[in-house]
Chains A and B, each alone.
Chain A
Amino acid sequence: MADLLSVENLSAGYGRAVVLSDVAFALGEGEALAVLGRNGVGKTTLLDTLVGVTRRFAGSIALGGREVGTLAPEMRAGLGVGWVPQERNIFRSLSVEENLTAVARPGPWTIERVFGLFPRLKERARQSGGSLSGGEQQMLAIGRALATNPRLLLLDEPTEGLAPIIVQELLAALTRLLREEKLAAIIVEQHAQKILPITQRALILERGRIVHQSESAALLADPAPLERFLGVTGR
């Protein structure tokens, strides 16, 4: 099967600072990739580089066989990159529904389907984005990315700072997206145990470099790399 995303020799950062060095990995259609690592190792920079909001120093990013590394963010979005930023960055002055419709593109993910995935958003459709709770904002951020009908969904620490009950709800929705809808995704997480079960593949970053790549199942079976690079096991 041809790769949906193919990243080679990628170096990127902000201003003159190089954060990512020589990163290479590939992702097939319908595959989900977990990006693991400690704080500040470059996980978010990797997603931001795929979106196009960092400075790329070298390397290539191919989406569906087309080089997108040189394109502006709005062009990449048009080609199917859907982003759920770490800060969520929902449009606070727009209503929940407007957050979705402002960026919506035709495709299987209609607004109604997004509401079906997150019924809480439907209840709050007319409220302003700024009035939502943290968990609801996260749902909206995911829903907004889905509304663009992406080929590849990029999720940056989707459960960060949320109450356990909301985390459960979100993980259930993500499971549905990845398992049933077969949406290709890259999920950045610190807590490996939360996402390894729902992804096929995993990689671990350390100081901007990939230090481990394997099947997610393999990491679950043998958590030694997790202990070594993340210093944790059973969380």
Chain B
Amino acid sequence: MPSGTLLGQALISGVLAGGMYGLLALGLSLSWGLLRLVNLSHFALAFLAAYLTYELGTTYHVAPWWAAAMVVPVMLMIGLAQHWLFDRFKVNELASLLITFSFAVILEVAIQLYWTADYRRFETHYSTMSIKVGAFYIPVLELALCMVAGVLAWGTWLWLRKTYVGKALRAAAEDADIAAAYGVDHKKLAYLLSGMGAAYAAIAGTFIALIATLAPAQIWAWLGVVFAVVIIGRLGNPLGALLAGMLIGASESIAMAIFAPAWAPVVSFSVLIAILLWDPEWL
């Protein structure tokens, strides 16, 4: 049986790693839940943002937060442009899956053309920094990621709950025709949300650049687990996405610490299936 220190450490790194799942799930969950658009290119946008952060950081020595400040507006514009296409061609849920898949493949090829397929690593001195708390180590970057993800998830949750726009979006997500008859301009709100989703992808991308390994094919590495997170966290629920991300991250990490690391990929889907079978009220 593993020691308490080991389990505690695994739990900490798992919850923090789960913050990344949550952050990636956030934008996906919003567009899927509130616009009925399954945006597979979300991962590609995040990686494009990560590569841009990497490029700015390594070639021009731009600090990651300034890089994020530059990359977020760019991604926002891409998100709006992408939504223009969805709107123009009246894309439905299934078609969005296919179209955004193609878009992701195109982005993958474009990234490979410019940055080659070789692994890229943005080395910063933050990447190995950690804070010691008792017997445990808390990695600084992952902690920052979780705090940013927490602020975004909480802020988005409040925004959806408390503002006119947020409530109108939720109303339109439930019944777009009826909402329109009450004056909700669903189209404009959809643009706003798509732009936001892409901006979230950009923020996730900045952290991917700092934490993970960049390779074009890695775009697909997060797909399965993040989809599980989106579903467990409930579509369109930002806080749910973050909590589900941390739940999956912690489960994976504990499985790695107690059983075998190779079990990790099985964990997310096992948790998903278990929760779907359990069918709790909040799902």
Known: A92-B174, A94-B174. A102 touches B181 (CB 8 A): no
Known: A92-B174, A98-B170, A103-B171. A53 touches B164 (CB 8 A): no
Q: Which of A93, A98, A99, A103 contacts B183 (CB 8 A)?
A: A103
A52 touches B167 (CB 8 A): no
A89 touches B184 (CB 8 A): no
The total of Cβ contacts below 8 Å across the A-B interface reads 67
Interface residues of A in 30-61 (CB under 8 A from B): 51-53
Q: Which of B168, B170, B175, B183 contacts A78 (CB 8 A)?
A: B183
Instruction: State the CA gap A53–B186 with chains docked (Å).
Output: 15
Interface residues of A in 53-77 (CB under 8 A from B): 53, 72-74, 76-77
Known: A98-B170, A102-B164, A103-B171. A77 touches B183 (CB 8 A): yes
Q: A91-B171, A103-B182 are in contact. List 15 more A-B contacts (CB 8 A).
A: A52-B181, A53-B177, A73-B177, A74-B184, A74-B185, A77-B181, A78-B183, A83-B181, A83-B182, A93-B170, A94-B170, A94-B174, A101-B164, A102-B164, A102-B184
**Residue among A72, A73, A91, A99 with the highest chain B CB neighbour number at 10 A:** A91
Chain A residue numbers with a CB within 8 Å of B179 are 91, 102-103
A98 touches B181 (CB 8 A): no
Chain B residue numbers with a CB within 8 Å of A89 are 175, 178
Instruction: State the CA gap A129–B19 with chains docked (Å).
Output: 32
Chain A residues packing against B (C-beta within 8 Å):
51-53, 72-74, 76-78, 83, 85, 89, 91-94, 98-99, 101-105, 144-145, 148
Instruction: State the CA gap A99–B164 with chains docked (Å).
Output: 11
Q: Which of A76, A92, A98 contacts B167 (CB 8 A)?
A: A98
Q: Is B180 an interface residue (CB 8 A)?
A: yes
A104 touches B174 (CB 8 A): no
